[in-house]
Amino acid sequence: MKNNPFDMQGKEMGWCPGCGNYKLLDAVKGALHELGIDHKNLVIVSGIGQGAKAPQYVNAHMFNGLHGRALPVALGVKLSNRNLVVIAESGDGCMYGEGGNHFMHAVRRNYDITVIVHDNMVYGLTKGQASPTSRMGMKTSLQVNGVMLEPFNPIAVSLALDAPFVARASVGDTEKTKEIIKQAISFKGFSVVDIFQPCVVFNKMNTYQWFKENTYYLPDDYDPANRKFAFEKAIETEKLPLGIIYCRDGRELYEDLLGITHIPAYEHEVSEEAFEKMLGEYR
Amino acid sequence: MSRYENDISIVFGGAAGQGVQTIADALVTVLKKNGCSVFACTEFMSRIRGGSNSTQVRITEKKRSAYVRRIDFLFALNAEAIEHLRDRIGEGTLVFAEKGPMEGMETTDFIDTPFAAFAKQAGNPIFSNTVAVGLVLGLLDIPLNAFSGYLTEQFAAKGEQVVSQNIAAARLGYGFGRETAEKKQIEVAIKPAEVRTDELLIDGNAAVGFGTIAAGCNFISSYPMSPGTGLLTFLAQRADDFNIVVDQAEDEIAAINAALGASYAGARAIVTTSGGGFALMEEGISLAGVTEVPVVVHLGQRPGPATGLPTRTEQADLNLALYAGHGEFSRVILAPGTFAQAIELMQRAFQLADKYQTTVFVLTDQFFLDSVASVEESEIVRLPVDRHIVKTDAEYKRYRFTADGISPRGVPGYGYGIVKADSHEHDESGHLTESFELRRKMVGKRLRRLQPLGREALLPERFGPVEAENVVVCWGSNRGVLDEALDNLQREDLCGLHFSQLVPVNPAVGEMLDTKKIIVLENNATGQFADLLSRELGVRVFRKILKVSGEPFSVEEVVQALGEL
- pLDDT confidence of residue B168: 96
pLDDT tens digits for range B520-558: 999 999 999 999 999 999 999 999 999 999 999 999 999
**Domains, chain A, with CATH or none:** 20-280 (3.40.50.970)
pTM: 0.97
pLDDT tens by residue, B77-124: 988 999 999 999 998 899 999 987 666 665 567 899 999 999 999 999
Spatial separation of the C-alpha atoms in residues B39 and B56, rounded to whole Å = 8
Give Cα B58 distance to the centre of its chain.
17
List, for residues B385-399, the tens digit of each pLDDT value.
Answer: 999 999 999 999 999
DSSP state of B205: H
Cα–Cα distance for residue pair A92/B396, rounded to 1 Å: 33
Chain B residue closest in CA terms to A64: B422
Looking at beta carbons, which residues of chain A come within 8 Å of B221?
72, 75-76
Residue A133: name the closest of A123, A145, A142 by CA: A123
Q: Please report whether residue B196 resides in a domain.
A: no
Nearest chain B residue to A255 by CA: give it.
Answer: B245
Q: What count of other Cβ atoms lies within 10 Å of the Cβ of residue B520?
A: 25
Residue pLDDT, tens place only, B481-514: 999 999 999 999 999 999 999 999 999 999 999 8
Q: Residues B114, B156: one domain?
A: yes
Whether B296 contacts A110, CB under 8 Å: no
> pLDDT-based confidence at B48, cuts 50/70/90?
confident
Strands (E), chain A: 42-46, 61-64, 85-91, 114-119, 165-170, 191-196, 215-217, 240-247
A38 in B contact zone (CB under 8 Å): no
Out of B134, B158, B188, a domain closes at B188
Is position B401 within any domain? no
Amino acid at B233: T
Q: Which residues of B touch A80 (CB under 8 A)?
A: 218-219, 245, 261-263, 265-267, 269
Distance, CA of B53 to CA of B312 (rounded, Å): 11
Residues B46 and B137 reside in one and the same domain? yes
Same domain, B176 and B211: no
To the nearest whole angstrom, how far is the Cα of A65 from the nearest Cα of chain B?
5
- The DSSP symbol for B476 reads G
With an 8 Å Cβ cutoff, are A80 and B265 in contact? yes
Which of B258, B414, B430 is nearest residue A72 as measured by Cβ atoms? B258
Out of A60, A74, A79, closest to residue B245 by CB: A79
DSSP result, B336-398: -SSHHHHHHHHHHHHHHHHHHT-EEEEEEEHHHHH-EEEEEGGG---------B--B-TT--T
Answer whether A79 sits within 8 Å of B260, measured CB to CB.
no
Give the best residue of A15, A64, A90, A269 to mutate against chain B (max B CB count within 10 A).
Answer: A64
B194 domain-assigned: no
Burial readout A154-188 (b: 16 or more C-beta within 10 A, e: otherwise): bbbbbbebebbbbbbbbbbbbebbbbbbbbbbebe
- Distances in Å between the Cα of B127 and the Cα atoms of A25, B132, B219, B480, B540 are 69, 9, 41, 35, 57
Residue B359 has pLDDT above 60, yes or no: yes
Residue-wise pLDDT tens digits, B211-239: 999 999 999 999 999 999 999 999 999 99
What pLDDT is stored for residue B514 in this prediction? 86
CA dist., res. B23 & res. B12, Å (int): 8
CA separation for the pair B464, A136 (Å, rounded): 73
A101–B254 C-beta distance less than 8 A: yes
**Residues of A whose CB is below 8 A from B202:** 282
Q: Say whether both B346 and B485 belong to one domain.
A: no
User: Do B277 and B222 share a structural domain?
Assistant: yes
Among B330, B347, B379, give the residue marking a domain's end.
B379
pLDDT per residue as tens digits for the range B3-36: 888 899 999 999 988 889 999 999 999 999 998 9
Are residues A62 and B283, on separate chains, in Cβ contact within 8 Å? no
Q: What pLDDT is recorded for position B47?
A: 87
Instruction: Determine whether the interchain pair B266/A81 forms a contact, defined as Cβ–Cβ distance below 8 Å.
Output: yes
Q: What is the CATH number of the domain that holds B476?
A: 3.40.50.920
In a domain, B450, yes or no: no
In this structure, are B206 and B184 located in the same domain? no
Q: Are residues B9 and B142 in the same domain?
A: yes
In order of A81, A243, B411, B493, the CA distances from B254 in angstroms are 18, 30, 21, 51
CB pairs under 8 A between A and B: 194
CA distance B284 to chain A (A): 8
Instruction: Collect all residues with Cβ–Cβ distance below 8 Å to B158 and sequence separation of at least 6.
Output: none
Report the domain count for chain B: 3
Q: What CATH number is given to the structural domain containing B357?
A: 3.40.50.970
Q: Within this chain, do residues B273 and B369 fall inside the same structural domain, yes or no?
A: yes
User: In A, which residues are within 8 Å of B287 by CB distance?
Assistant: 65-66, 69
Instruction: Check A59 against B216: CB less than 8 A apart.
Output: no
- Chain B interface, best mutation among A48, A50, A67, A77, by max B CB count within 10 A: A77
Question: Does residue B224 sit in the same domain as residue B365?
Answer: yes
Q: Which of B369, B62, B358 is nearest to B211 (CA)?
A: B369
pLDDT band at B244 (very low <50, low <70, confident <90, very high): very high
Instruction: Give residue B197's pLDDT.
Output: 79
> Where are the strands (E) in B457-513, listed by range?
461-463, 470-475, 494-499, 501-503
Question: SS3 of A194, please?
Answer: strand
φ, ψ of residue B95 in degrees (nearest 5): -105, 125
First to last CA, chain B: 36
Please check whether residue B448 lies inside any domain of the structure: no
Whether residues A64 and B241 touch (CB distance < 8 A) is answered with: no
| Residue B301, min C-alpha distance to chain A (Å) | 25
Same domain, B159 and B129: yes
Chain A interface, best mutation among B210, B243, B351, by max A CB count within 10 A: B243
In chain A, what residues touch B258 (CB-CB under 8 Å)?
72-73, 75-76, 79
**CA dist B411 to A32, A149, B394, B408, B480, Å?**
21, 43, 13, 10, 42
The domain boundary residue, chosen from B362, B379, B396: B379
| Pair (B97, B120) in one structural domain | yes
- Is B101 part of a structural domain of the chain? yes
Is residue B553 in a domain?
A: yes
A60 to chain B, any CB pair closer than 8 A? The answer is: yes
Hey, of B250, B377, B383, which one would you mutate to test binding to chain A, going by the most A CBs within 10 A of its CB? B250
* CA-angle at B268, arms to B264 and B269, nearest 5°: 80
User: What backbone torsions phi and psi does residue B2 show, to the nearest 5 degrees?
Assistant: -120, 130
Select the more confidently predicted residue: B314 or B61: B314
Q: What distances in angstroms separate CA B343 from CA A159, B310, B332, B362, one per listed residue?
A: 46, 25, 17, 11
User: d(Cα B175, Cα B172) in Å, to the nearest integer?
Assistant: 5
Q: What is the mean pLDDT of chain B?
A: 95
**Chain A residue with Cα closest to B397:** A61
Collapsed DSSP state (helix, strand, coil) of residue A166: strand
Which domain, by its residues, includes B101? 2-188
Stretch (H or E) spanning B118: helix B115-122
According to the model, what pLDDT value does residue A2 have?
A: 65
- Within a domain: residue B308? yes
Domain CATH code at residue B110: 3.40.920.10
Query: What pLDDT is stored for residue B106 in this prediction?
Result: 58
Q: Are residues B285 and B174 in the same domain?
A: no
Q: Mean pLDDT of successive 10-residue segments in chain A (283 residues)?
A: 84 93 98 98 98 98 98 98 98 98 98 98 95 97 97 98 98 97 98 97 96 97 97 96 97 97 97 97 93
